[in-house]
Amino acid sequence: MPTFGLNQFEFLLRGAGWTVVLSALALVFGGIVAFAIALARVSDAAVPRTASNIYVQLIQGTPLIVLMLICYFGFSLYGIDLPAIVAAALAMTLYVGAFLGEVWRGCLNAIPTTQWEAAESLGMSRTERMIWIILPQAIRISIPPTVTFMVQIVKNTSLASIIGFVELTQAGKLVNNATFQPFICFIFVAMIYFVLCYPLTVWGRILERRFNVRHR
């Protein structure tokens, strides 16, 4: 039986690489969905508002792990065999779209209505107001919570292990199965997650502080 050594550590690092890839996919595609959801949630029109609300409620009321299972096994029932990475990225996209969408909606709502009124009184259309007045301010305040949320994304990619995607957690499980040294193995897994997440946490904190100083 092999013991935990450099080879095993290297295997974990390769898994960590996939964790990063999945996180990036989740952030990019989830971010696109989240942007659309945030805009729909503050829309004047009832249909996008209601539809986006239903989407958010559905996703927020479903464990991410179940979304993973649905995306992986659900589609294969209909003859669509998604590779694990695609299924995992899809589930993460749905998840990020709902949660980050709500974060960003909060940022849009945080812009005082008086800003809308001032722009409206100058004759700007709703779209012009959104693009030139509201969004630039909302994007600025959304950066710290978005960076903080990225930590959640990285950690939650671990749930992709349930569908056999060999990211960091699944790599840890495989190493443990081979070496049967769970303590040392998962300590290393935890440490790698920490190394990935801690800089994001620090960055988020710095951005938050900088933002608060600027707006005091």
Partner 1 sequence: MLDTVDARTLTIIQLRNVRKNYGSVCVLQDLSFSVSRGEVVALIGRSGSGKSTALRCINGLEKIESGQITVCGHDVERMKGDLRPLRRDVGIVFQSYNLFPHLTAEENIMIAPRLVRKMAKSEARERAAEVLQRVGLLEKRSCYPEQLSGGQQQRVAIARALAMEPKVMLFDEVTSALDPELTGEVLRVMEKLARDGMTMIAVTHEMGFARRVAHRVIFMQAGRIGEMGPASLLDAPETPELRQFVESDR
Contacts of residue 211, defined as CB under 8 A and 6 or more positions apart, other chains included, come to: 140, 141, 143, 144
By beta-carbon proximity to partner 1, the closer residue of 125 and 212 is 125
Tracing tokens 């978005």 back to the chain, one arrives at: 146
Residues that bind partner 1 (CB under 8 A): 114-115, 117-125, 128, 132-133, 136-137, 140
**CA dist., res. 46 & res. 44, Å (int):** 6
Tokens encoding 127: 């779209």
By beta-carbon proximity to partner 1, the closer residue of 68 and 134 is 134
By beta-carbon proximity to partner 1, the closer residue of 1 and 213 is 213
- Minimum gap (Å) between residue 113 Cβ and partner 1: 10
- Minimum gap (Å) between residue 138 Cβ and partner 1: 10
- Minimum gap (Å) between residue 34 Cβ and partner 1: 22
Q: Look at residues 54, 141, 36, 55 and name the one whose alpha carbon lies nearest to residue 95.
A: 55
Q: Look at residues 124, 113, 155, 162 and name the one whose alpha carbon lies nearest to residue 26.
A: 155
By beta-carbon proximity to partner 1, the closer residue of 43 and 137 is 137
- Minimum gap (Å) between residue 39 Cβ and partner 1: 19
